[in-house]
Amino acid sequence: MESASPVYKRIVLKLSGEALREKGGRDTISPQIVKEIARQVQEVYALGVQICIVIGGGNIWRGLAASHRGMDRTTADYMGMLATVINGLALQNQLEQSGVVTRVQTAIEMQNIAEPFILRRAIRHLERGRVVIFVAGTGNPYFSTDTTAALRASEIGADIILKATKVDGIYDRDPNVHKDAQRFDRISYTDALTKRLQVMDSTAFSLCMDNKIPIIVFDMNTPTNIRDVILGRPVGTLVTD
């Protein structure tokens, strides 16, 4: 249902690292894309919404892919966590330039760069109107940033997870391969699991289902989508009970 005011008070925005890379571009982090993401976040911030951001590192390093090429999985995953820190700092810099007060909290202590993740401090930042960017995943190997988003959303009591992707929702099969793929406007956790739809990895999805945290999967490339979601407009696919 459309609203003139936010329908969600506290959100977790999940961004992939690949979202920061320009298609076909040389740079792993595109300043133009980071600037546009910051603009969209600033729009929602101006509505008084409490915002947490979880960002991946796939534009710089993918731990799982490296492990498939023979690297020790634990080492590869830690390298991926460090990549998320680089992305988080880039986003923080642009948000601060846009007038949005932010804090970066890391699951791996690096006190010269960011605060350690402390739940009560993160909530206090939100209550004081600061955007909190969570980096370094959960601080443990074998867990994805999807799982980080689900975990942090559960911990801070978020109303919803907004998962930004390259497609405009969840389909019954790959829309890039099958032209007749059907998009879901809304789907239950159970149906998404039964149909084996790739919403998130299984650990992340189970956390959301157990804690009843709805997920909206939407296209990040449409400039108004984050704001439209917050205002209750029909965007992407809603996964809920």
One DSSP character per residue, 164-200 reads EESSSSEESS-TTT-TTPPEESEEEHHHHHHTT--SS
Residue 186's pLDDT band, with cuts at 50, 70 and 90, is very high
Domain that holds residue 110: 10-240
In-domain check, residue 5: no
* pLDDT at residue 3 tops 70: no
Calpha distance 19→30 (Å, rounded): 9
In-domain check, residue 2: no
Q: Which pair of structure tokens corresponds to residue 106?
A: 């890391």
Q: Nearest 5°: phi and psi at 236?
A: 60, -150
Q: Which pair of structure tokens corresponds to residue 57?
A: 């590192």
What is the count of structural domains for the chain? 1
Question: Regarding beta strands 170-171 and 183-184, do their DSSP bridges make them parallel or antiparallel, or are they unpaired?
Answer: antiparallel
Q: Nearest 5°: phi and psi at 103?
A: -135, 135
Bridge partners of residue 236, in order along the sequence: none
pLDDT of residue 237: 95
Per-residue pLDDT tens digits for 50-105: 999 999 999 998 887 888 888 999 999 999 999 999 999 999 999 999 999 999 99
Angle between helices 73-97 and 31-45 (to 10 degrees): 70
Any long-range contacts for 193-199 (C-beta under 8 Å, 24+ apart)?
197/170, 197/171, 197/172, 199/163, 199/170, 199/239
In-domain check, residue 74: yes
Question: For residue 80, what is the domain's CATH number?
Answer: 3.40.1160.10
**What's the whole-number mean pLDDT along residues 183-201?**
88
Please, where are the H alpha helices in 8-160? 31-45, 63-68, 73-97, 119-127, 145-156
Q: What is the pTM of this model?
A: 0.93
**What's the whole-number mean pLDDT along residues 194-208?**
87
In-domain check, residue 102: yes
pLDDT of residue 1: 45
Task: For residue 148, count other CB atoms closer than 10 A to its CB.
Answer: 27
Q: Of residues 4 and 170, which shows the higher confidence score?
A: 170
pLDDT of residue 134: 98
**What's the whole-number mean pLDDT along residues 123-152?**
97
pLDDT of residue 176: 82
* pLDDT at residue 202 tops 90: no
In-domain check, residue 233: yes
Helix (H, G, I), strand (E, B) or coil at 74: helix
Calpha distance 234→236 (Å, rounded): 7
In-domain check, residue 167: yes
